[in-house]
Amino acid sequence: EQREQILALPGHALDAGPPESHFSPAGSELRGETERELQRLRDDKARLESQLTQAQEQMAVLSESQRSGLTQEAWNDIKKQLTEMTNTTQDAQERERTQLITRATVAEEQLSELKEYVDNHLGRYKLEITLLRRRLGSNSAGV
């Protein structure tokens, strides 16, 4: 248990000693299925501890700049993706803005034409109504 605690410490400088399996009796001395299973688990534990030690040694070889470089590379990739997404969104919004400006301009022109049409015809209709009232009035007076 103390060995596991020592190995769990990051950057431990203490020697944890050999794994427990070195002090256990050999497989031929063990009897029973439970004892064989226990021995197999101890061997697995020793193998995994060895792999952990190797991995820790390999990590120690990597310099801090290499580890931060990997992180910086990931950040650069994220920045690139965000830039592409921003540009795509901006392009789409600019296209939509252009379309809306065009539609608004056309609508304003149509409104101006309709206003002119109504003004011209309204004046003509007013004149026609006045003439019809006069005729109606003169016909009523003549009867």
Give per-residue pLDDT as tens, 55-66: 877 777 776 666
pTM of the model: 0.40
Averaged pLDDT for residues 108-122: 94
Q: Are 43 and 26 in contact (CB under 8 A)?
A: no
Q: What is the mean pLDDT of residues 88-110?
A: 94
Record the tokens describing residue 71, joined without a space. 């992180």
User: What are the phi and psi torsion angles at 29 (to 5°)?
Assistant: -80, -20
* SS3 (DSSP) at 106: helix
The rounded distance, in Å, linking the Cα atoms of 39 and 30 is: 8
pLDDT in the model for residue 28: 57
